[in-house]
Amino acid sequence: MSESMWIERAQSAEAKLKTMKESHDKAVERIRSFKANFGIREKDNGEIVIDFKKMVERLGEDGATDLRSVIEEVYPSHE
């Protein structure tokens, strides 16, 4: 391959890498924002901690009611 061909391939690879990095950075920021909005954080050991009050406040009344229904379906009371 000629030198110009290698330069073209390198430039193409750099452009693709830049685009992928931008997409990656946007995705990471969306995840960070989501986690912050719903009171989710990770400890240094990878354990996930959820602020349930904050999460329920962010879900709103309808979302919280839906969540309660799911919880009651998964963990029915044994009355």
Measuring CA to CA, which residue among 71, 78, 75, 42 is closest to residue 56? 71
The pLDDT score that the predictor gives to residue 77 is 83
Cα 50 to Cα 67: distance, rounded to the nearest angstrom:
15
10-62 residue pLDDT tens:
999 999 999 999 999 999 999 999 999 989 999 999 999 999 999 999 999 99
Q: Per-residue pLDDT for 78 more than 70? A: no
Measuring CA to CA, which residue among 64, 20, 59 is closest to residue 39? 59
The pLDDT score that the predictor gives to residue 1 is 78
The pLDDT score that the predictor gives to residue 79 is 59
Cα 25 to Cα 20: distance, rounded to the nearest angstrom:
9
